[in-house]
Structure 1
């Protein structure tokens, strides 16, 4: 049934340092979702550890992106200069990853059921952002939690009169013992290696992590699985033909904010995206939804 603030059974307001959040304490699962950035930092079935990785050094401050969880990179991904020309023309700042991850989103709806909780947040990107971005669009982000899955859907609607180009990513940080981690589902996919002058390669076998990895894969929509120890996290995307695989390695880790020198050993990012050639172009009034469903299993596999 639809509920309004004050009438929820499983969802409560909370605050962490300077930021306001929604805490979900359902009998079957728990979650924490911050209004700043529409940033999910915790999801776990009851009795289990967080399916997401969150830095012990994360800071919850106004205007500061949280290190870990699932940051929302929108309406552009990465540094402006590495975006396609159509996207680059909309950007009026040198900042990376857009502005959505630092803005306070509006709570639209909380829907609770005996087996699920759904939360929707929105961001209206209008003239208030004209110093950073040339566009007029709305973003609606819906989270659906159950005992078995965490689903996220980000819908962009072009509210302007002219066509709008944008790139984006659901920047998922996942727990992983990186020395014992492989990623399947990308064998044969072409990718751009940002550490090798943005050259093009083709994946041979599984993705492993001998050091820093920063790659943008062209995908066919197949599920990507992170195997780490006995845990397998499966990411099934929709509205996406690209994915980013990232681990900073020991040298880059020392340069990152809110990230300890050893954190690279315990995480990996698998980002559902619309980036590089997979950027999206919407005519006036059109919408596009980027989504991911995260599930988990403990089935071990042989890796190539």
Structure 2
């Protein structure tokens, strides 16, 4: 899935980085990338990417202007990591649900403190890897034993994210997950998603009934669907288009809260729904994954130019 240059990235220790620096934003620690070709902001809490901006371009990710950067609080916008379960625990498959001990949606990874593993830089790209050892510290929430490794690759061509889960338990591990990507638009009513035509989807707003998508996806009020598709997608907005290519995923979540739910969301202004949408690369609903002892699975997405 990589589109790396022919020049291998150089691994450097802290203090030797040319483009990456530490910063404290609110109460959280973040890595900020100031490369001549792009900028990015990545928080250790949640392994949460909140900014990717190529040179001479607008930001590719949507971030709430009321987002708060506090320990234990998920950041509204960017790309939250939903792991090791996606959505409401009760809506997960029995194999996934039996390991979940908490009532909260989207797992614990998005508010957990991840460990910096590596920073690699060269004249064309920056690659940052973070890990989360989900064992004893998370026993109040989950009965699994696994390690998650997430790698972000930034270049002028786009942003590539790969999340790898390895089962450390002796027993099989079932889990669901999503890279919950928020994208900006000047007008949600003039925005569409291409590539999901003829796909089946679960409409979570209509008793979780199955539907079939005909043509492009348009937005008319609240939208919350789990598509049975991992095909390449194109987001078309009044300001331009983005291409999404996924790996390790056969499900895609499309979400916009609409006006009524927006009024109930935290860290989300009442009108923000008009200027954002979520296209989530996922292993959700029937696309959950099962790993035997020592096995790994990688889900990833490349967000690129047209």
| Pairwise TM-score range, normalised by the shorter structure | over 0.9
Q: Which residue of 2 aligns with 1:149?
A: 158
Q: Matches of 1:230 and 1:125 in 2, distance apart?
A: 40
Work out whether residues 14 and 23 of structure 1, in 8 Å CA contact, stay in contact via their aligned partners in 2.
yes
Which shifted more, 171-180 or 263-272? 171-180
The 5-angstrom pairing of residues 1-304 of structure 1 reads 1-176=10-185, 177-219=187-229, 221-297=230-306
Q: Matches of 1:123 and 1:228 in 2, distance apart?
A: 35
The CA deviation string for residues 30-61 of structure 1, in whole angstroms up to 9 with x for no partner, is 00000000000000111211100000000000
Q: Matches of 1:163 and 1:65 in 2, distance apart?
A: 29
Q: Matches of 1:29 and 1:202 in 2, distance apart?
A: 39
Work out whether residues 10 and 26 of structure 1, in 8 Å CA contact, stay in contact via their aligned partners in 2.
yes
Work out whether residues 149 and 295 of structure 1, in 8 Å CA contact, stay in contact via their aligned partners in 2.
yes
Q: Matches of 2:26 and 2:13 in 1, distance apart?
A: 25
**Deviation for aligned residue 1:230:** 3.9
TM-score, normalised to structure 2, is: 0.96
The CA deviation string for residues 191-229 of structure 1, in whole angstroms up to 9 with x for no partner, is 00000000000001110011110000000x321111001
Paired residues, number = 296
Q: Matches of 1:86 and 1:276 in 2, distance apart?
A: 11
2:110 is paired with a residue of what secondary structure? helix
1:270 is paired with a residue of what secondary structure? strand
* Structure 1 outlier segments of 4+, above 4 Å: none
Structure 1: which 5+ residue stretches go unaligned? 298-304
Q: Which residue of 1 aligns with 2:4?
A: none
The CA deviation string for residues 147-187 of structure 1, in whole angstroms up to 9 with x for no partner, is 01100000000001100000000000000120110110000
**Deviation for aligned residue 1:119:** 0.1
**Deviation for aligned residue 1:127:** 1.3
Q: Matches of 1:250 and 1:86 in 2, distance apart?
A: 35
1:245 is paired with a residue of what secondary structure? strand
Structure 2: which 5+ residue stretches go unaligned? 1-9
Q: Matches of 2:242 and 2:221 in 1, distance apart?
A: 21
TM-score, normalised to structure 1, is: 0.97
Q: Matches of 1:255 and 1:285 in 2, distance apart?
A: 42
Alpha-carbon spacing, 1:230–1:49, altered in 2? closer, same or farther (3 Å) = closer
The CA deviation string for residues 39-95 of structure 1, in whole angstroms up to 9 with x for no partner, is 000001112111000000000001000000000000000010000000000100101
2:244 is paired with a residue of what secondary structure? strand
